[in-house]
Amino acid sequence: MSIFLSGVIEGFYGRAWSWSARTAVVDFLQREQFNTYIYAPKSDRQLRRNWRELYADDDFENLIKLRAQCRQRGIQFGIGFSPWGLQSEYSNVDREQLRKKFEQLNQLDCDVLCILFDDMPGAVADLAQRQTTIVADIAAFSNARRIAMCPTYYSFDPQLEQYFGAMPADYLETLGALLPSGLDIFWTGPLVLSSGYSQNDIVAISGKIQRKPLLWDNYPVNDGRKISRFLHTLPVHDRPAQLQDWCSGLLANPMNQAFLSQLPLASLAQSFKLGAGYSAEIFWSERIAELVGEELAPLLQRDAVRFQLEGLDALSPSERELLIADYARIDNPISIEIIDWLREQYRFDPECLND
Domain-wise residue ranges, the chain: 5-279, 284-353
CB 84 within 8 A of CB 48: yes
The CA distances from residue 29 to 23, 70, 293, 318, in Å, are 10, 9, 18, 37
What residues form DSSP beta bridges with 116?
Answer: 150
**Integer Cα distance of 117 and 159 in angstroms:** 16
Contacts of 46 (CB under 8 A, 6+ apart): 53, 54, 55, 59
The yes-or-no verdict on residue 320 having pLDDT over 70 is yes
Task: With CA atoms as reference, report the closest residue to 12 among 269, 342, 257.
Answer: 257
> For the chain, what is the mean pLDDT?
96
CB 250 within 8 A of CB 242: no
Instruction: Encode pLDDT of 124-155 as tens digits.
Output: 889 999 999 999 999 999 999 999 999 999 99
Residue type, 234: L
Task: With CA atoms as reference, report the closest residue to 44 among 9, 8, 91, 81.
Answer: 81
- Over its C-alpha atoms, the chain yields an Rg (Å, rounded) of 20
Residue type, 303: D
Task: With CA atoms as reference, report the closest residue to 146 among 194, 50, 76, 210.
Answer: 76
CATH superfamily of 5-279: Glycosidases (3.20.20.80)
> Nearest 5°: phi and psi at 280?
-60, -40
Average pLDDT over residues 68-82: 98
Three-state secondary structure call for residue 36: strand
Average pLDDT over residues 52-77: 97
pLDDT above 70 coverage of the chain, percent: 99
The yes-or-no verdict on residue 88 having pLDDT over 90 is no
Which runs of E-coded beta strand occur in 254-306? none
- pLDDT class of 1 with cuts at 50, 70, 90: low
**Amino acid 48: pLDDT:** 95
- Residue 315 vs residue 119, higher pLDDT: 315
pTM of the model: 0.97
CB 142 within 8 A of CB 102: yes
Task: With CA atoms as reference, report the closest residue to 110 among 138, 76, 135, 84.
Answer: 76
The yes-or-no verdict on residue 123 having pLDDT over 90 is no
